[in-house]
Amino acid sequence: MSALDFLNTRLSVTSRQLGEPGPTQAQIDALLAAALRVPDHGKLTPWRLLLIRGAARARLGAALAAIHLAHEPDAPTSVIEKDRERYNFAPLIVAVIARVDEQHPKIPAQEQILSAGYVAYNLLLGAQALGFGAQLLTGWAAYDRDAATLIRT
C-alpha cells in the first residue's frame, strides 16, 4: 500500500471495540520511536508520554470516577461507571502530555501544543501501520486539574 493510500484509509477504532492482544514490547518500542519523529519547532520536545497498561488501567478509571464524584456528587451512577470502565478496553493507553514552556522567547505555546498533537496522531497512524486499532480520546479528564495530578502518583 502506498503512503497516500494508507492515509486515505486511516480509520479510528473506538476504544470500546479494542481488546487483547495488545502490542508486544518490541512493537511498543517501534511505535514510540516512530511517533516521536514529528515536526518540533526549536527542538523543545514539548511532550511526555505515559504508558498505562495492565492493572494501572483500572486504577486510573477508579481514580477518575472518584474525581468525577467529588466534583459532581449527584452525577448518575451510569456516568460514574463509564469513567471507571473507560480505560479497561484497550490493552495499552498512551497518555500524551503537552509539556509547554509558556514563556519561551521564540516558540509560541500553540506551536508546542501542535507538536504534542502530532505525536498523538503519529501514535494513531503507527498503531494502524502495525495492524492495531486505536483512537484519540480526550474526554473531561484531559482538561481537569485534579486528573492531571494523577500522573505524579
Ligand X SMILES: Cc1cc2nc3c(=O)[nH]c(=O)nc-3n(C[C@H](O)[C@H](O)[C@H](O)COP(=O)(O)O)c2cc1C
State in angstroms the smallest separation of the CB of 138 from ligand X: 4
Residue 12 touches ligand X, criterion: CB under 6 A: yes
As a three-state string, the secondary structure of the chain is: CCHHHHHHCCCCCCHHHCCCCCCCHHHHHHHHHHHCCCCCCCCCCCEEEEEEECHHHHHHHHHHHHHHHHHCCCCCHHHHHHHHHCCCCCCEEEEEEECCCCCCCCCCHHHHHHHHHHHHHHHHHHHHHCCCCCCCCCCHHHHCHHHHHHHHC
Among residues 11 and 70, whose Cβ is nearest to ligand X? 11
56 vs 136, beta carbon nearer ligand X: 136
Residue 38 has which C-alpha cell?
514529528
Contact positions with ligand X (CB under 6 A) in 92-151: 135-139
Query: 45 or 135: whose CB is closer to ligand X?
Result: 135
Nearest residue by C-beta to ligand X? 12
How big is the site for ligand X, counted in residues (CB under 6 A)?
A: 7
In angstroms, give the least distance from the CB of 6 to ligand X.
14
For residues 12 and 45, which CB has a smaller minimum distance to ligand X in the complex? 12
Binding site for ligand X (CB under 6 A): 11-12, 135-139
